[in-house]
Structure formats: C-alpha cells, structure tokens
C-alpha cells in the first residue's frame, strides 16, 4: 500500500503545482503525493508539508492548519518560498524516506565556493564558544571555517 505525502496550505495552485512536480519523482516508489483540500483527505500520511503563504489570508488558513495538526498530533514541516524553493525543500524531506541521501543546501551551487564568516565581525556566541573550546583543547582550526 502506498504512503501519502500530504501538501497543505492556503495556496491551492501552489499545492497542485508542487504535487505535479513531485509526482514523477515518486513513480515506482511506495509513496504518492496529494494536494490536500481538507483534513478528511489525510490518510495516515508518511509526511505532511504545509506551504507557507505570503498573503494575509493565507497566514490565517495556515494557522488553522497548524492548530489542527498540533491538536491531531500530526508532525509537519513548513515549506517557504516560491515554487523552486518549495520543490527543493520538499525533496530534501522526501529523499530520506526513499533511502536516498538528501541533497545538500548547496546543491546546484556548482564550483562556487562557500562564503565564510569574517571572524572579527561575527559576534555569534555559539561560533565564538566553539572557537574558544577548540583553542583550549589544542584543536586550532582555520578561523575562517567557522
């Protein structure tokens, strides 16, 4: 029996577009994706994805979905951004269910190098603590990699 990946949120067109983009990737797997209109369509989903809205009306409906999911005890993840960002975010959550390594945040960055912090302007307490602990334990690392 196939397991449901449910797409919820106020943006009906966005839910359907995401479902259409994900469906081919799920062919031949034990999962199917569904753009859910109401809670009666949830079938013990393997994954629930709530599409965040940038509109005031969508925020209200998104809040109702969040409250319902919490009360029902159903775990969910929220997808933000436009179509490609939502697709990338959804795939990062779905890939491990399929036994695949989730694509990295930098996928598609090509040969571009990652930007690193300039430590003298960082002021991130966790970063400073990690750097300090490494220095105390004699694990001096390149300061630019934090």
For the chain, the structural domain boundaries read: 3-98
Q: Tell me: pLDDT of 122 over 70.
A: no
Helix (H, G, I), strand (E, B) or coil at 136: helix
CA nearest neighbour of 74 among 8, 2, 144: 8
132 vs 120: CA distance, rounded Å: 14
**In terms of pLDDT, which residue wins out, 2 or 102?**
2
3 vs 139: CA distance, rounded Å: 46
35 vs 106: CA distance, rounded Å: 28
pTM above 0.75, yes or no: no
Helix (H, G, I), strand (E, B) or coil at 112: coil
CATH superfamily of 3-98: Response regulator (3.40.50.2300)
If you count them, how many residues does the chain have? 146
């Amino acid at each position: 029996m196939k397991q449901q990946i449910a797409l919820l949120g106020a943006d009906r067109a966005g839910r359907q577009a995401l479902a259409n983009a994900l469906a081919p990737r799920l062919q031949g797997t034990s999962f199917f994706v569904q753009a859910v209109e109401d809670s009666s369509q949830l079938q013990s989903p393997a994954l629930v994805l709530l599409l965040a809205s940038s509109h005031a009306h969508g925020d209200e409906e998104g809040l109702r979905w969040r409250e319902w999911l919490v009360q029902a005890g159903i775990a969910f993840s929220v997808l933000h951004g436009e179509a490609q960002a939502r697709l990338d975010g959804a795939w990062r959550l779905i890939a491990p269910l399929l036994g695949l390594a989730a694509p990295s945040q930098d996928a598609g960055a090509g040969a571009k190098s990652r930007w690193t912090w300039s430590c003298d302007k960082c002021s991130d307490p966790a970063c400073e603590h990690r750097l300090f602990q490494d220095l105390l334990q004699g694990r001096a690392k390149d300061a630019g990699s934090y």
